[in-house]
Amino acid sequence: MEIPVFTVDAFTNLPFKGNPAAVCLLLHELQDDMYQNIAAEMNLSETAFIIRLNSKDDFSSENVNSTVVFETLSGELYVRQQGESIVMDFPLNKPTPVGLKEFKDIVKAAVGDQPVQEVCLCATTKMLMVRLADSCDRSVLTSLRPDPAVLLRVDTGGRVRCLLVTMIGDPGCQPGYDFYSRNFFPWFGVPEDPVTGSAHTVLAGYWSEKLGKKKMLAYQCSSRGGELELELQDDGRLNIAGQAVTVLQGILTL
């Protein structure tokens, strides 16, 4: 069996930046263990498997303005191309403020003694969001080095599976980021995710209310870095847009 495979750097227009993901094009479904084996071989935080459910679907370059619907384990994902960007339609997940004492151990493990302005939890996604104080500059966020083993030892009662650390941006400086973040997922074997679309469904829900904006530009400050354009829709959903670069194309032979 030969499977076309690509490595795509998402949320960037530069190779070796953004979020690297493997994309495998399948003619038919595989056994469950084969998906896991291929993902392990790709050795990236995400591997996507695409199967064309309708033989009449046209994914050619002449049809780039159409909306493509992906059936995922999280529900239907609507994707379309808009100019040089790819736009994804997500549900919006607004977090709820919680007391700092309630999660003091995990906050301490994440940011140490840095000042914290607010802590919020999104129960739906089990994402805990820690907002650094506005007195912090971006170097405080980029210098954080939370130990994944320490995070995993903190007992959160199963309420936390993802940790988001964020701070207000510099909209007055070019390119004018509204907020910054770094995202940690040791519970899924990923100490830090380079750029995380799903995390921004929570971050956008929070910062939209704080900033009074429906359109925002966000930057995830991992070592690779990535830029996300966010727009809240009237139907309560969120558009996340970003550019992407294909850095590898080949054939996986099984």
Q: In sequence order, what DSSP letters do the residues of 96-108 get, joined into one string?
A: EEE-GGGGHHHHH
The whole-number pLDDT of residue 140 equals 97
The pLDDT tens digits of the residues spanning 6-40 come to 999 999 999 999 999 999 999 889 999 999 999 99
Tokens 């919020």 found at: 120
Whether the Cβ atoms of residue 200 and residue 228 lie closer than 8 Å to each other = yes
The whole-number pLDDT of residue 58 equals 55
Architecture of the CATH domain 96-241: Roll (3.10)
Give me the active site residues, please.
Answer: 46
Q: What is the CATH number of domain 2-80+242-253?
A: 3.10.310.10
The whole-number pLDDT of residue 52 equals 75
Which helix (H) or strand (E) segment holds residue 151: the answer is: helix 148-153
Nearest to residue 179, comparing CAs of 215, 143, 120, 219?
Answer: 219
Q: In sequence order, what DSSP letters do the residues of 162-226 get, joined into one string?
A: EEEEEEE--TTSTT--SEEEEEEEGGGTEEEESS-TTHHHHHHHHHHHHHT-SEEEEEE-SSS-E
- Model pTM above 0.85: yes
- Residues facing 76 on adjacent strands: 71
Ranges of the chain with pLDDT below 70: 53-66, 71-75
> Would the CATH topology of 2-80+242-253 be identical to that of 96-241?
yes
The whole-number pLDDT of residue 187 equals 94
The whole-number pLDDT of residue 65 equals 57
The whole-number pLDDT of residue 61 equals 46
Domain range summary for the chain, segments of one domain joined by +: 2-80+242-253, 96-241
